[in-house]
Chains A and B, each alone.
Chain A
């Protein structure tokens, strides 16, 4: 699972269903926007831009229980001096974000159904 189920369950308990769904949807938007920024920065060899976006995404992912995505973002932040790695890091982040996205969609659907 890209999203930690225990973490997601705790978050769901703490929030009203509507709030939970709203937060998931907002995270989805943030995540997709930041992944886009990371990819553009990688393509432009913009280490500073990539690092800033990865930092933001790491925090957001950590807050939603997306631990692997958070870790990938932190690795990307630490490798920014090595230019060939930027593309690799961006691709890894995209792959994990896609997995997180699937889990989010599933969680939203489940919450809305409930």
Chain B
């Protein structure tokens, strides 16, 4: 109760003497009092005057007090109600309490009795309100605490696996920017998951029910890029035998992911700039402007500012697209994420290949942690698949790690002082194993100095030279791997064979010394 503002009490009583007696008592006790002789009048006053409490006689001329109480509650009025009752209507008073009245007072009552009953009822309500307020605040605090703890302990997010501080910062940025239409510029070395980040942004955005259209600017011939982005009309160029819808149209209302944007030719950058600025574009061969509503997410493994300074990337386009930067950390800077990811892939591939692997030995884990992973998650993925394909045991031993992660005779990294190797991620949370971390397609040029230059493998022209079929096959596979930046799953997809086959063959060639020196796979 407030000590400075008088508490308002509405006396609902049809007998004038009773109403006056209550009014006198309550006024004497410091309350501000109004009276109503009918339920209808009481309802109007209660809604307009908003009393703190009602002293309510149940027998009223128009309709009874229970009905009035119900109507008030339905109207959102939560005034404290104390029912006045004669002994004969005690049962009715109890009904009223069940209907939401706080207490009742039996006639005849004196001033003190009435005052105590009313004060207790109001105090009880006030305490209830405070308790509910505190309970609500407590629930909110607990919810925030749980969310904060979950955030701190988060090991997976939107397809990513990782609990390192660097990745948690990425998760926070993705979470924060997902709902916006702001352009996002993702940077990071190859294999860090740039396309995964772009897809995560799309899936968490209000545009999730529309298309996510990825376009690798580095993989599309320069002459075709404009058509791929904006589409073309029939006859626009040789071979344009019909109208074709471009990525901009496909991504209408959704997200257009321009991967390897640094590879986009400068003349195409001008056209993209116009689309970003005005939201309009023209399909190739058409003079008609079309409107497009897309969210731009771009990615590159280069330093975009250096590209601008070198003149390879337009500065105005850079500022249009580089609104929210997201930098994906290389695996070597992600602490124990290496092990989380390795365990995840081990579980996944062991299930796929029907192998027994359940974890890594401490020595193997130490070596995985010590290795710098220039190819990032993709390289780790390949290494784990290699191990699973070529071996079968309860745990991965140090000797099973392929070069360059470990070579026989190499001084192994000291074992990490850790608790026994935890079960793989999928075993720890079998009900919701996180989806695999799928890195973005690689670009042809190596991006970090740690990758040793690979020798070109001469591919034989069968028209001019005939070699044993096995050798022809070896050269073809190695050539495909070279073209795919040693990305075995990608090379296997292009060769239309199972990745396991490539792993087996590579392992065999390594044993036979038929793997070129530069092939650190």
Contacts and interface: CB of A to CB of B under 8 A. Distances in A.
B17 A60 contact: yes
Interface residues of A, number: 26
Contacts of B89: 55
Nearest to B59: A55
B110 interface: yes
A18 to B, nearest CB: 10
B24 A60 contact: no
B108 interface: yes
A89 B451 CA distance: 111
Given A10-B110, A52-B59, A77-B88, A59 B20 contact: no
Chain B: number of interface residues, binned into ranges? 20 to 34
B14 interface: yes
Contact of B17 (A64, A74, A77): A64
A77 B88 CA distance: 9
Interface of A: prevailing SS: helix
A16 B110 CA distance: 14
B86 A26 contact: no
Contacts of B18: 30, 59-60, 63
B24 A23 contact: yes
A19 B88 contact: no
Interface in A1-36: 7, 10-11, 14-16, 19, 22-24, 26-27, 29-30
Given A55-B88, A58-B88, A23 B17 contact: yes
Given A15-B24, A58-B86, A7 B108 contact: yes
Contact of A63 (B16, B21, B24, B59): B21
B24 A19 contact: yes
A26 to B, nearest CB: 4
Interface in A55-103: 55-56, 58-60, 62-65, 74, 77
A14 B110 contact: yes
B16 A30 contact: yes
Contacts of A29: 16-17
B111 interface: yes
B107 A63 contact: yes
Given A30-B17, A59-B15, A60-B17, A14 B107 contact: no
B456 to A, nearest CB: 107
A56 B14 contact: yes
B286 to A, nearest CB: 86
A65 to B, nearest CB: 7
Given A56-B14, A56-B59, A77-B88, A62 B20 contact: no
- Among B16, B87, B89, find the residue whose CB has the most chain A CB atoms closer than 10 A: B16
Given A14-B110, A19-B24, A62 B86 contact: yes
Contact of A62 (B16, B24, B25, B107): B107
A63 B14 CA distance: 14
- Among A22, A62, A63, find the residue whose CB has the most chain B CB atoms closer than 10 A: A63
B20 A22 contact: yes
A101 to B, nearest CB: 13
A60 B89 CA distance: 14
Nearest to B14: A56
Contact of A26 (B16, B25, B59): B16
Interface string B472-516: 000000000000000000000000000000000000000000000
Nearest to B85: A59
* 3 closest Cβ pairs, A-B complex: A27-B17, A26-B17, A63-B108
10 contacts: A22-B20, A30-B18, A52-B59, A55-B89, A56-B59, A59-B57, A60-B15, A60-B18, A62-B86, A65-B108
Given A23-B20, A26-B20, A62-B87, 7 more contacts: A19-B20, A55-B86, A59-B57, A59-B59, A62-B108, A63-B17, A63-B107
